[in-house]
Amino acid sequence: MAMHLGKLSAGSCWLAARGGCGELRSWSLSCAAGRFCRAPGTACPEQSRGLGYGPTAGGGPRLRTGLAAGLAAGLAGLAGLAAAAFGHVERAEMVSKSSGAPSPSPGRPEEEDDELARRCSCFMASPVTDLHELRRRPGDMKTKMELLILETQAQVCQALAQVDGGARFSVDRWERKEGGGGISCVLQDGHVFEKAGVSISVVHGNLSEEAAKQMRSRGKKLKTKDGKLPFSAMGVSSVIHPKNPHAPTIHFNYRYFEVEEADGNKQWWFGGGCDLTPTYLNQEDAVHFHRTLKKACDQHGPDLYPKFKKWCDDYFFIAHRGERRGIGGIFFDDLDSPSKEEVFCFVQSCAQAVIPSYIPLVKKHCDDSFTPREKLWQQLRRGRYVEFNLLYDRGTKFGLFTPGSRIESILMSLPLTARWEYMHSPSENSKEAEILDVLRHPRDWVH
């Protein structure tokens, strides 16, 4: 069943908050503008002042932190839960020089209940997990990640609706019979956005053999019991397609994954990223976007942005076209060190960077004039977006291979409209040729 969210303005708006969060209640803008998710009674470790590289047993790069750094990620809807076996299968790691993140402070149960209820009142819908279960395990990473992705979803939807000035978000709460569910918020045919989706999922069950095979192909050693591999996964995923060809498309997702092996051992990791796909190159926009992401990464170490920026350029490569999907951003996967707390805090910083990195660009260009030729080029570039997502994207493939996955949410990233023309080629020295050159030869946008 879908609910509809009316126009969000400077006043308050209404949303459904069920399952212990109360009935229909007012959502003030101060809710969504609040701090990012942190489980009641817990705190992030102190941020690191620097990270460096060191060798790992597997030969890949390893990041080292000074003080207790916060490197984090989360897991995007089912469409981005885990990474499949395509493209670059590099594994990100961090190693802390400290003894680890501080343990959560206890806090009183009444304060935790009040805090949880307050935060739930700001979400687009009540949490997927029962509130009693969330209260029972406030320090568990699954609780903290679910609250983070719900808060991120609410804040991004609120910011988009304000910019659109009249859009209606469809809030679709769904359940997965194998375990868990999600909340998909989708805006279509708005004033500014042709299609904008922000989806969260919190799922659990047993991995399919195909999904486990894809993970093993990335170097993960997973031991099954009677052919079964229990998992828990959660994340937020979003793709936003504006109408104006001068306003860029953005994608972000942050996810968390746990797998329990036959011997009871649990493997966990984070993944995610954020990237920009403009139809036309605007140097100022590109610099702003990348500098905002770099600022978020630099809070946890100076080497993170360069590493994850390159990984992003490599991952979003459309091999059969010889070009990238967009002008990049950051991307990381299989991040499982130095600690859950430190990785989690890194993702919080990344999630907080989404709105300031993107919303100013949409406001800047949403009323720009454009020609039919420019609109045509936007449709052709969206065709490339579709090609990457269906042929190469790990998360899409993982979702399609997962039993009980929700196809509508997995394919939410696809634009409402796209176009393919036979043997289309932009003229030399045109604005279209300019962006193609950037997509074929990634640039350094921050130096």
Active site residues: 251
Q: Report pLDDT digits (tens) over 255-297.
A: 999 998 778 888 899 999 999 999 999 999 999 999 999 999 9
pLDDT value of residue 401: 79
* Of the listed ranges 107-111, 205-209, 229-233, 289-293, the one predicted with least confidence: 107-111
* Domain extents in the chain: 118-204+234-440
Residue 42 pLDDT > 60: no
CATH architecture of 118-204+234-440: 3-Layer(aba) Sandwich (3.40)
Contacts 24+ apart (CB under 8 A), 291-296: 291/445, 291/446, 292/353, 292/356, 292/357, 293/329, 293/330, 293/350, 293/353, 293/357, 294/446, 295/353, 296/349, 296/350, 296/352, 296/353
Spatial separation of the C-alpha atoms in residues 32 and 432, rounded to whole Å: 38
Among 352, 346, 424, 418, which Cα is nearest to 384's?
418
Proportion of the chain above pLDDT 90, given as a percent = 60
pLDDT value of residue 351: 96
Residue 51 pLDDT > 50: no
Residue 86 pLDDT > 60: no
pTM for this model (two decimals): 0.78
Higher pLDDT, 260 or 239: 239
Q: Report pLDDT digits (tens) over 197-207.
A: 999 999 999 88
Q: Report pLDDT digits (tens) over 326-371.
A: 999 999 999 998 899 999 999 999 999 999 999 999 999 999 999 9
Q: Report pLDDT digits (tens) over 370-394.
A: 999 999 999 999 999 999 999 999 8
Spatial separation of the C-alpha atoms in residues 445 and 410, rounded to whole Å: 31
